[in-house]
Amino acid sequence: MKNFLSKLGTGKSGETSKQDLPTEFQEDYVELSGTQDGPKSKIVVRPFVIQDFTDIKPALDALREGYTIVLANVGPLKQKDMIEVKRAVAKLKKTCEAIDGDIAGFGEDWIVITPSFASVFRNKDIESIDGQE
């Protein structure tokens, strides 16, 4: 390993130059930076109000990016057309399955959809607030 590293050598700035590399490494030499130019690493919880079936597209796009947990309010669409609600939920479920995520409803009008790295907590032992006095 020492011999290999000594063959590489370093330039004045501490970086390896093309001339210092053995001939087999001089072709197709690509220098990589240490910075990350990839996707965001921060997770975002983002609410969406679904008033029409077409309003689910931004939510689906955010889910496909992989770093967004979607909170969808389907209440406005539910007041208009229940068939459209079922259609929208089916589309959300399909996308959720495609990204290996998790989907659950809470309350009357809200749906939460998570990417593959998160899951929705479900506890059947908790009583509903309406049932308590």
Ordered by where they begin, the domains of the chain are: 1-31 (no CATH), 44-114 (3.30.110.150)
Task: Give the chain's mean pLDDT.
Answer: 77
The string of pLDDT tens digits covering residues 39-52 is 557 889 999 999 99
Distances (CA, A) of 93 to 19, 57, 59, 85: 56, 13, 12, 12
Q: What is the pTM of this model?
A: 0.61
Report the distance separating Cα 7 and Cα 30, nearest Å.
18
Give me the sheet containing 110-114, strands edge to edge. Answer: 44-49, 68-73, 110-114, 102-106
| pLDDT at position 6 over 50 | yes
Asked whether residue 7 carries a pLDDT value surpassing 70, the answer given is no
DSSP 64: H
